[in-house]
Structure 1
Amino acid sequence: MSLPSFPFAEQAQIIRSNQRDIFHLSSLREQTEAVLRAWLGTRWLSRWDKEIGLFVKLLYYGLTIGQATQTLGEEYTGIWMHSVQTDMQPSRHLRVALILLPTLPSYIAAKWGSALPQDSKLTSLLRRVPSFLEIVAEINLAIFYLRGTFYHLTKRILRTRYISAVPPNPNARPPSYSLLGVLLAVRLIHRLVVYLRSLRVEDEGPASAKGKRHADGTHETYVDDTTVSSMLGPYDPDSQPVIPAEEDERTILDVSSIPSAQRESRNCTLCLEERTSSCATECGHLFCWPCIIGWGREKAECPLCRQSLSITKLLPIYNL
């Protein structure tokens, strides 16, 4: 008598499981940020944004994969992780690798990339790591849509698949996602062509590149012949002294003559101090210029209304 075997999970189950995990991760992060914002303030939250994201992922996957149990998405779809090499449940070391490999490399690259000197070659290399990982993940996803195996790149490297506790329905044909794989392949080819064109433009010299800076979307915004990022420059808000509002040189107002009741409404919601070097976002909210610059480099959204935020479109205000 042969022992019963479980079938491999279908593509739809794996995709639905991943969507549920993303939803629960997002919900857990929002609740964590709400608690930390109430305790420590928005400015502290923006400073430690990367660490909070890493902590939430390690907590979620550590309490599920790390304990050899299902994630909420896997439990929802009735699938289990299964090691192809051992034909058993993933071992402890394999589970640790499944937790750390998808989270640590991108965090380390982002953290070191912002801490190292801006003009060093290592900084330039580290800044390319997230883009490289994104492209490799898209290639793996295209292969998954075409062949139906290994939704995540880490699981492909570690040879970990899913088995299903739900028997397949012999009267129903599983959906095909081959078209999505083809579309992803077309997108990757387009990105490759754009990248090769940008390299050719750089080889031809700055004279020919000057008129093509915005053609392929790979170059940043220029003011005359100067990049916006170079004008903004590196900025560490925690290393800067707090300037009293009375000493703000970037306003035409006599702050000391403003009634105290009105001055209370001039506080910046990021630093919780009276606003200095005031600037407005596209959505109309006011912040200190250093505060919103530091926030915008970490999160491209307004801290109050969550609308999209571009630091190149901030408007300095001199009379508020």
Structure 2
Amino acid sequence: MSSFPSFPPAQTAQIIRASQRDLLHVSSLYEQFENVFRTWLGTRWLSKWSKELDLLVKTLYYGLTVGHATQTLGQEYTDTWYHSTRSRTTPTIPTRAALVLIPSLSSYMVSRCQRSDNTISRLARVVETVSELNLAVFYLRGNYYDLLHRFLGVKHISAIPDNPHTRPPSYALLGIMILIRLVHRAITTLRQVTAEAAPQQDALQEKMNVKHAFIDGVAVVAATTAPEEEDLEAKPAEEDERTMLNIPAVPSSDRAGRNCTLCLEERTDSCATECGHMFCWPCISGWGREKVRTVLFSSPKRNTDFTRSPSVRFVDSRSA
């Protein structure tokens, strides 16, 4: 394979725009796949296998572009290419395979395993911190937008010649702000570890501001770590043991009005919120669990009063 002619390195703005454009196209492609699979297999199936669908979409998009040593749509938009600093040519086949598979598979494995494996969660946080550090260096120096690119020695080159009469925009301030945030986070974490003297469970509850917080008699911490009921296979309404109705004897017109507004299928293990809306228990518990996790882990210092949250209770299906 012949070497590239002399092309200038891509500017920081070009690399950022290419990445954002690729994310936009991946998101659009995912929505198209999502609509097709929802029509074919239903909302509940899509909810269960959404992470695998995301893996499929990313693998297809980057496999058909980066895997074939061609530009992605984002790179085509900004006139940039991948260039290996080690071979001085286009990235080799193993390198391209790594560029396609490692980001997609790693994000998939983290999303599937981090809830049940604390080691995976800690490792994901470490990688996220190192990635932010790499991003700060990128904003300061303009090389290696992604941590994997730095490890593999893959840079971006541009087909647009440098203009000596213009000065490219600087993103150094963003890099400095990210470094300040990382230093603040490190100091905060060190103080928390140093001040940690109570038992682990009490310290965790105090940190999350959920001590003595219960929803319908169930501790919030226990609810957020309970098995994922929404991941279980959906059961037919005829097999619902928590109803006193004779489901086969119910007219089809009435059964059509018993659909859960989350999975859009006939309710099983029916429950109701205080406002009177009806859901499947696995659907509403999974939705509530995700909302609680979002509040607890994305904003740990937020003082959230879960005792005022609307409760969910099982109801007699004869009233449903």
TM-score after normalising by structure 2? 0.78
Please tell me whether residue 175 in structure 1 is matched to residue 169 in structure 2.
yes
Per the alignment, in what secondary structure is the counterpart of residue 6 of structure 2?
A: coil
User: Is the CA contact 1:267–1:275 (under 8 Å) kept in the aligned structure 2?
Assistant: no
- Identical amino acids, percent of aligned pairs: 44
Provide the aligned length of Structure 1 versus Structure 2.
294
Bigger shift: residues 258-267 or 95-104 = 258-267
Change (3 A) 1:83 1:279: farther
Unaligned runs of 5+ in 1: 302-309
1:268/1:288 contact within 8 Å kept: yes
1:291 aligns with 2:283: yes
The residue number in structure 1 matching 2:129 is: 135
Worse-superposed segment, 52-61 or 268-277:
268-277
Contiguous gaps of at least 5 residues in structure 2 = 294-303
Distance 1:37 1:211 in 2: 39
Q: Which residue of 1 aligns with 2:8?
A: 7
Say if 2:63 and 2:100, in contact at 8 Å, map to a contact too: yes
In the alignment, structure 1 residue 272 sits paired with structure 2 residue 273: no
Structure 2 residue identity aligned to 1:98:
L
Q: Quote the Cα distance in structure 2 between the aligned partners of 1:299 and 1:86.
A: 47
Q: Kindly provide the CA deviation profile for residues 21-48 of structure 1, in whole angstroms up to 9, marking residues without a partner as x.
A: 1111111111111111111111111111
1:287 positional shift: 2.3
Instruction: Indicate whether 1:193 and 2:182 are aligned.
Output: no
C-alpha displacement of 1:222 = 4.0
Mean CA deviation greater in 273-282 or 88-97: 273-282
Alpha-carbon deviations, 1:257-290, whole Å to 9, x = none?
99864542221141611354324499x9642121
Scaled by the length of structure 1, the TM-score of the pair is 0.78
| Equivalent position of 2:298 in the other structure | none
CA RMSD of aligned residues (A): 3.6
Q: What aligned pairs does 1:214-225 form with structure 2 within 5 A after superposition?
A: 214=207, 219=208, 221-224=210-213
Instruction: Name the stretch that deviates more: 266-275 or 150-159.
Output: 266-275
Instruction: Say if 2:312 is the partner of 1:316.
Output: yes
Matched residue SS, 1:248: coil
Worse-superposed segment, 254-263 or 7-16: 254-263
Of stretches 174-183 and 268-277 in structure 1, the one that deviates more from structure 2 is 268-277
The 1:21–1:258 alpha-carbon spacing in structure 2 relative to 1, beyond 3 Å, is same
1:35 to 1:315, Cα distance in 2 relative to 1, 3 A: farther
8 Å Cα contact 1:10-1:148 kept in structure 2? yes
